[in-house]
Structure 1
Amino acid sequence: MTSNLAKHYLKTCLVAQTQKKHTATVIFLHGSGDTGEGVRAWVRDVLGQDFAFPHIKVIYPTAPERPYTPMMGHLSTVWFDRRKIANNVPENLDSVDSMADALGQLINAEVSQGIPKERIVVGGFSMGGAMAMHLGYRFHHDLAGVFALSSFLNIDSAVYKVLREQQRSTSPPLFMCQGTADPLVMPSWAETTHTEMKQLGVSSEFHVYKGLFHEMCKEELLLLKEWLLKHLPFPQ
């Protein structure tokens, strides 16, 4: 991923902020084929208001278009490529890692504005949640937290390998939600991810919503807001 493409992110991010000066940041990554504007509007529709906090900047980046194998190679706004939407195939780490570099520059831009990493959370919906887990547990393990909504990691994920090899004393806490009626991300994939992360020492919450499809619901977003305020509290 070139630095020019990384700069593209900084120019196209949508930002929700209630005050000019913020003391914490949330980076919210959309699912495959969506945009930052799209997921922000979706969250607003579900909640009936913007996903906003008086002291937290919420950033919604948009992935660049790239050929996407599950769509027969057609262009789509995705964070990385993969063979198919399944948890039993190898990860395409070249595409994951190049995107991690670009999004890492977005994190570093917040740091340069005076926001320490321990006051930054990354997360997302579906593919965005998987990308956030790679960011938070392979590249930026000093973040305040990671959230993954309707998301999963592959069985042989590089995230697990890094956690096993490094055996850190602390890792960012993880917040996961999953619907039982999701036809795209099997509930068992998300549950396996949560279980594996806990076994590897990550403090992980897993919330299941009966009858929820591949979507977000008001209850999980309200719970996510509580979790964010817990890990990114108002400054004393």
Structure 2
Amino acid sequence: MAAVQKLQKCAVSPAGKHTASVIFLHGSGDTGRGLRAWVRDVTEPDLSFNHIRIIYPTAPARPYTPMRGALSTVWFDRHKISRDCPEDRESIDDMCNSLGLIIQGEVNAGIPKHRIVIGGFSMGGAMALHLACRYHPDVAGVFALSSFLNKDSAAYQAVEERLGADLPLPELLQCHGSKDDLVLHQWGEDTSELLKKAGMATTFHSFPGLHHQLSTPEMELLRGWILTKIPPLTSS
């Protein structure tokens, strides 16, 4: 197992007192700053809150097998982009440990885990699902935008085990564009159904005309959902 890495990140500070946090993970090949700029470009008004700090980490560059071993800022490696192949569990678990440092940093700053939401776009959404379902199921919620899990993902197994032990799980918001690659859209929808079957409370939204990208209506939906999971405190 690789050493736990301290990840680079950028953040949007709340306008008022910091009482909750969102960790938003970019897609493969992007950066935290790149995702932050994209969110700002498609969101009116900007995705910012009076009480929530939004953190955009950057994945470290690693050899990425689907790119024939070329370096890319990806959260984990894949043997290939196929729902039927095994997950690269070692790289996923290593990154869960590194992202756990960011969660712990927010807890150390006084933010309880039930006031933290984790999510991401594309590969970032898959990473968020592993992080929330397997390592930090006591967060307020998890969102996955244009994302999918492999058929035998360890995340499904973790959800089933927690359900069997009558332990709580975070709720999932999952979104996908109807104009994304048909295989990927179906893959994303199947991910939602398999998580629901395993025992997780899930909501799936398909956005007409949207490709593998973010959109203003999607971000408006996300903003409202975040506020239901981590609303302002009455004392803040």
Q: Do these two structures clear the TM 0.5 threshold for a shared fold by scoring above it?
A: yes
1:189 corresponds in structure 2 to 187
The equivalences for 1:152-231 within 5 A come to: 152-167=148-163, 168-183=166-181, 186-231=184-229
Residue matched to 2:128: 132
Deviations 1:61-114 (A, max 9, x none): 000000001111000000000012221111000000000000001101100111
Scaled by the length of structure 2, what TM-score is found? 0.94
Q: Are 1:59 and 2:50 matched, yes or no?
A: no
TM-score (norm 1): 0.94
Q: Over the residues paired in the alignment, what is the CA RMSD in angstroms? A: 1.3
Please list the CA deviations of residues 118-173 of structure 1 after superposition, one character each: whole Å capped at 9, or x if unmatched. 00001000000000000000000000000000000110000111122232442000
The question of whether the paired residues in 2 share the 8 Å contact of 1:119 and 1:232 is answered with yes
Partner secondary structure for residue 50 of structure 1: coil
1:93-132, aligned counterparts within 5 Å? 93-132=89-128
User: Which ranges of 4 or more aligned residues in structure 1 deviate by more than 3 Å?
Assistant: none
3-state SS, counterpart of residue 53 of structure 2? strand
Kept in 1: contact 2:162–2:168 (CA 8 A): no
One-letter identity of the residue aligned with 1:2: A
Structure 1 unaligned regions, length at least 5: none
More moved, 226-235 vs 166-175:
166-175
| 1:2 alignment partner in structure 2 | 3
Question: Contact 1:151–1:185 at 8 Å: present in 2 too?
Answer: no
Q: Structure 2 counterpart of 1:100, which letter?
A: C
Separation in structure 2 between the aligned mates of residue 79 and residue 184 of structure 1, nearest angstrom:
24
List runs of 5+ in structure 2 lacking aligned partners: none
User: How far apart, in 2, do the equivalents of 1:193 and 1:142 lie?
Assistant: 21
Contact 2:22–2:53 (CA<8 Å) still a contact in 1? yes
Aligned partner (choices 27, 37, 43) of residue 39 of structure 2:
43
Aligned length: 231
Aligned-partner SS, 2:23: strand
Distance in structure 1 (CA, Å) of the matches to 2:22 and 2:86: 29
Q: 1:145 aligns with which of 124, 137, 141?
A: 141
- Identical amino acids, percent of aligned pairs: 52
- Are the aligned partners of 1:152 and 1:185 in contact in 2 as well (CA < 8 Å)? no
Deviations 1:29-68 (A, max 9, x none): 0000000000010011111443100100000000000000
